[in-house]
Every structure is written in structure tokens, then in C-alpha cells.
Structure 1
């Protein structure tokens, strides 16, 4: 993991860089992560492709966000649950949704993922972080 996070100190959230919904999720996390614990990378980037491959996902698969945290990979609904678990305040209470069957959570996640471009749109290119946020993007 030397190329991406040599000290394994920060969870890395991989997202579809052209998906408006995915970019909104990234912005949601950034705004609620005052300690800047999360790092971000588009799935389309070299780091995104490298980690996707390590997670066992085909390189062209862009239908799930991926979280790499402390040597473990999370996909689909588990990503959102792991992220809110680490956010301060009441957001961490949403982790309680983990009691729902994973099959139900993932079926809902996959339904939204299949329709995300139609419902939320798509950018022509990956988002470019502001200079202030650039250090959080790999």
C-alpha cells in the first residue's frame, strides 16, 4: 500500500468521479469530517484502479463506492455505514442501520446505483478539488 497510504492512517473513499450523486456524497463527508480523517480518490484515477483491483473489483466497475480502511475493503451499503460511523455528532447513529439484512441494504444501494446517472446526472470529467481540499485527495 506504499503508493496510496504508507502509514495506513486514513480511510480512503473511492468514488465515481463523474457521478453527481457520488460527488455529493464526497462533499457531504468533507463538510462533516472536521478532523479530515477521510481521503478521497476517483475510481478512474491510478490509485482508484489500484485499490479496486486489490478489492477484487473489475477495473471498469464504477457502480459502487469503495472504502479502504485499516487493510479492509468495504463496498456497497457497508461503505455508507462505515463512513457515518466515523463522523462526529448524530450522524454516527445511522450506523444502527447495520441491523438491516445486508441483502436488503445492498439491493436498495444497487437500485440507486443503477439509476444514479438518470436521476442525478453525470459530469463530463472528474471533480477538481479546491486548493484547500487538494491535500485530502490522492
Structure 2
């Protein structure tokens, strides 16, 4: 697992996205941390304020490489086997990217109203826990 995906484990949309991603990736590239796992987030120097800005993707081999919000979603898709050409085309169309970024913000800020809130935090089959690579 080269990347850590930090997601809202109480959001139905987020949990369903991660569930689909799990089935596609099977833990090869991505491990997952729900935003509710404060202890693990601290290992990555991610605060609850950071989480308020949306999904986060962290390169575990170089933790200074981070993407957030719509950029994180784009990078996740880009890393998938057939995702790179799709994301390159999407990013090349500036108006489309601008609309996508704005839509992400609206969905992020209203996700519970739009998609519902789970009774329990969704935990994946490919979690990242105490085995975090640290810089020496």
C-alpha cells in the first residue's frame, strides 16, 4: 500500500466510494483511514481541521506529497490502471475541472444531507494502522 486514503467513515457517499475502490484495488496501492481514527491521523500529522477540507491522499513513501479534496479524488483515479488518460483529459478541460472542483466543495459541505450519515464508522478490509512509515 503506497498511498493512504483518508475518508469520512460516517458519510454514506465516502464509505461507498472507498468500498468500490477496495474492490478495484484490493489493497495493492491504497490503504484507508477513516477521519474518525484520530490516533492514526496523528501519525500522519493530519488534524481534524485538515479533514474538514475533504478527502486526503498521502503518498506513504514521500508523506510530503499530499492531495486534498477534488485533487485527491482525481489523483486516486489517475493511479488506477485505466485512470491516467481519463484524468489527463479531464484536467485539460479547464471549465470542466473548475465545475468539478466547485461540485466537490458543495458535496463535501452537504454530504450528510445529500447522502446520509452512517450509524457506525465504516472500516475497510485494508486499513492503515500502526505500520506507518516515518521519516528518520
Deviations along 1:42-92, whole A, 9 cap, x unmatched? Answer: 011021354323xxx626x4350000013211001111111111112x344
Asked if the contact 1:16/1:62 (under 8 Å) is kept, the reply is no
* Change over 3 Å in CA distance of 1:99–1:47 after alignment to 2: farther
Give the total of aligned pairs. Answer: 120
Q: What's the TM-score, normalizing by structure 1?
A: 0.74
1:58 aligns with 2:49: yes
Q: Confirm or deny: 8 A CA contact 2:31 2:127 kept in the other structure.
A: yes
Segments of structure 1 that go 5 or more residues without pairing to the other structure are 1-8
Note if 1:118 corresponds to 2:113. Answer: yes
Greater relative contact order (Cα 8 A, min sep 6): structure 1 or 2?
A: 2
Q: Does 1:108 align with 2:103?
A: yes
Residue from 11, 22, 25 that aligns with 2:17: 25
Q: Which runs of 5+ in 2 are unaligned?
A: 129-136
Equivalence for 2:134: none
8 A Cα contact 2:53 2:68, kept in partner: no
Cα distance in 2 for partners of 1:126, 1:85 equals: 27
Aligned CA distance change for structure 1 residues 35 and 116 (closer, same or farther; 3 Å): closer
Change (3 A) 1:76 1:128: closer
State the 4+ residue runs in structure 1 displaced beyond 6 angstroms: none
Structure 1 match to 2:41: 48
CA contact (8 A) 2:9 2:123 kept: no
Q: Which residue of 1 aligns with 2:79?
A: 86
